[in-house]
Amino acid sequence: MTKRGMEAKDLFELKSVANPQLSPDGKKILFVETSIDQEKNSYISNLFMKALAENTSATQWTFGKHRNHSPKWSPAGDRIAFISNRTGSNQIFVMSEKGGEAMQLTFFENGVGNFIWSPNGEEIAFSISLKPDQTIQTAPKQEKKKEEKDKELTALVVEEMKYKSDGEGFWNGTYKQIATVDIKTGELGQLTSGKSDYYLQSWSPDGKYIAVTGDLNEERDNSFLTDVFLLDVETEELNKITNSDGYFGNVTWSPNGRYLAMAGSNREFENATLSRIWIYDLETETHSCLTAEWDVMIGDNTIGDFQQGTVDPGVLWAKDNHHFYFLATDHGNTSLYYGNLDGEIYPALLEDQHVYGVAFDGKDQAVVAISKPTEPSDMYSLKITTGETVKLTSVNDKALEDISLSPVESFYFESEGGLSVQGWLMYPANFNPEEKYPLILEVHGGPHAMYGNSYMHEFQMLAGQGNVVLFTNPRGSHGYGQEFVNAVRGDYGGNDYNDLMNAVDFALEKFSFIDPERLGVTGGSYGGFMTNWIVGHTDCFKAAVTQRSISNWISFYGVSDIGYYFTEWQIQSDLSDIEKLWKHSPLAYVNQIKTPLLILHGEKDYRCPIEQAEQLFIALKRQKKVTKFLRFPEANHELSRSGNPKLRLERLTAIKDWFNQYI
């Protein structure tokens, strides 16, 4: 029987599993499974548990149509804490590892954020947003029955440039603080206060300190640093251990408490700087960068549009206090690596895949969350010494029974300056080498991100419609070293454009089944900018879809939540040089656009505000060009990845229909 290709609506049948957590004895695993409730048009997340030694399915541990996520084992392994929005906002709950009713620990009107267990298992530290005149005791408590209250209209007073952010909206005057709650008594404590944001990292093994990060610079608008602090739990004193010269996070303690590992950089190339592993020795009070000579990005920078609730745990220490494991992004893969204090680095799990989560028992057992182009999301156990993996879940097998997932072929081609660039070609569903197929070029956002060997629902849907899908990592992408990722800065629309067009030329020459007269292009964010740029500089594409795009760097400078500094970092210009900003703006070339262009944008996108789309649409319509504009209500920059499910489906359907109509 011939299977059908992937359809947009299949998104509603697929499940994502993420955030593996091994029990302290290494025998059980917790993870989060997320699906979509079509009736309520919402996401559902629940905890699942599985004994690694048993050949049985995972057992569902929480229930209901809510978001239950971020599980963490107690140090003794007898309890599980997690976050749930079942009462209307995110609160911390604790339950026995044997199951049963979960006990609610926090009761705040606006909810809480990240949390960690104390080493003795008696307290939990958590993040909460408070106004300067509020304390943990006076913060508004959650009402048992939340009623709609009339909001009094009042002016928003703005005195800082960083007054809004995509996803969170306008700043409400609160700062992220660190607080604690006693498991038995419910007694609350507050460890930080003031007009700075503190981000919870990890608790020292002896219980004396909590590692936190933050930027204490009073002039926040022009500060882009994050320091690491040791917060004394008893005295509440902060001791800064970094030098206010970079950005650091994912801080973890060695089991003996002597070392702190962190990921970060000194921002030599602004936001294009590779993140590296740093070690702070508390005995000698010295820093060392263990990966200074390794031209690889630490962490997971692979782009996807499917996984929900992914967590990069940072450096995972072994019990010997000397070696550790971590994720890194390299040549289309996010892989698991081994490292030690001597600076040795080796791959621990190196295949063509996307490892988007990992847990480690400190000895020889790990669990990894893996995605591949034809495998959306599953958990695997990993024996460190042998590299042997065993699949623990098959959450999408039933949904994919009648669907043909399209394989990909990786290749490299030579671009401008002799640069080697990686690309992939996804074959159309039910491929017949004797037929001719249209091709759609996909351009990723960032620009400092990476396409790779991961599941992409949009790609599979387009392949399911009988299209060849071409995706590549032009200069500016992560995964190919510091010089490569930095090469796009100051050159938007230059050699990055040449890389993309050379990828198309290479594919047309290598794959004879592509119809050169039926080409399409699409992308979002930076990929939207590049889609706009491409159709303003070539007529070879028969249709284009630009998503959450940038069209005008002059206005972007003032309207985006990151506009002024991102423009200065990336275009390397500001409002003192309007000519340069306009030169790099796709809107400047709108007279040359002949390609039918569909414009997709979220109404509440503060990263690339919708006025960018409005300008482009009006300019095109004024010249009677073929275009259409879809405005997605309440949607922000994350629409394609974690947005309203029905709007995600509407977006995918619009992309499919536009290409079907014009190519």
351 and 435, same structural domain? no
In a domain, 209, yes or no: yes
In a domain, 394, yes or no: no
Can you tell me which residue has the tokens 């990723």?
444
Confidence bin at 149 (pLDDT 50/70/90): low
Would you say the C-alpha torsion 98, 103, 109, 111 has a positive or negative sign?
A: negative
What pLDDT is attached to residue 524?
Answer: 98
Cβ-proximal residues to 317 (8 Å cutoff; 6+ apart), any chain? 252, 253, 254, 255, 259, 261, 324, 362
Cis previous bond, 447, omega within 30: yes
Q: For residue 484, give the H/E element and its range.
A: helix 482-486
In a domain, 199, yes or no: yes
Distances in Å between the Cα of 516 and the Cα atoms of 35, 105, 446, 520 are: 39, 61, 28, 10
463 and 328, same structural domain? no
pTM listed for this prediction: 0.96
In a domain, 382, yes or no: no
Question: Beta 437-443 vs 468-472: how paired, if at all?
Answer: parallel
What pLDDT is attached to residue 152?
Answer: 84
Task: State the total domains in the chain.
Answer: 2
CA 498, distance to chain mean position in Å, is 27
Distances in Å between the Cα of 380 and the Cα atoms of 34, 327, 369, 615 are: 17, 15, 6, 48
311 and 217, same structural domain? yes
590 closest CA partner among 626, 555, 561, 565 = 626
475 closest CA partner among 553, 532, 419, 536 = 419
Distances in Å between the Cα of 26 and the Cα atoms of 29, 39, 170, 382, 557 are: 8, 38, 43, 12, 50
253 and 174, same structural domain? yes
Q: Is the pLDDT of residue 147 over 60?
A: no
Cβ-proximal residues to 527 (8 Å cutoff; 6+ apart), any chain? 442, 443, 444, 445, 547, 549
349 and 423, same structural domain? no
169 and 101, same structural domain? yes
For residue range 111-130, list pLDDT tens digits in order. Answer: 999 999 999 999 999 999 99
250 and 106, same structural domain? yes
In a domain, 91, yes or no: yes
- Amino acid at residue number 545: V
344 and 269, same structural domain? yes
For residue 264, which phi and psi values (nearest 5 degrees)?
A: 170, -170
Q: What three-state secondary structure class fits 659? A: helix
Structural domain boundaries, residue 116? 59-144+161-358
Cβ-proximal residues to 116 (8 Å cutoff; 6+ apart), any chain? 72, 124, 125, 126, 200, 201, 202, 203, 210
Average pLDDT taken over every residue of the chain: 96
Q: Is the pLDDT of residue 571 over 90?
A: yes
> Where a domain ends, among 358, 374, 394?
358
410 and 353, same structural domain? no
In a domain, 183, yes or no: yes
| Paired strand residues for 32 | 18, 47
For residue range 420-433, list pLDDT tens digits in order. Answer: 999 999 999 999 99
175 and 72, same structural domain? yes
For residue 281, which phi and psi values (nearest 5 degrees)?
A: -95, 115
CB 329 within 8 A of CB 300: yes
For residue range 155-183, list pLDDT tens digits in order. Answer: 999 999 999 999 999 999 999 999 999 99
475 and 349, same structural domain? no
What pLDDT is attached to residue 54?
Answer: 84
Q: What mean pLDDT comes out for the span 126-150?
A: 83
The CATH number that applies at residue 518 is: 3.40.50.1820
In a domain, 24, yes or no: no
322 and 203, same structural domain? yes
Instruction: For residues 636 and 618, give the distance between their C-alpha atoms in angstroms, rounded to a whole number.
Output: 21
> Where a domain ends, among 358, 388, 423?
358
Catalytic residues: 525, 637
In a domain, 16, yes or no: no
Confidence bin at 306 (pLDDT 50/70/90): very high
The CATH number that applies at residue 166 is: 2.120.10.30
> Where a domain ends, among 299, 329, 358?
358
Gyration radius (Cα) of the chain, Å:
25
What pLDDT is attached to residue 424?
Answer: 98
Instruction: For residues 563 and 567, give the distance between their C-alpha atoms in angstroms, rounded to a whole number.
Output: 6
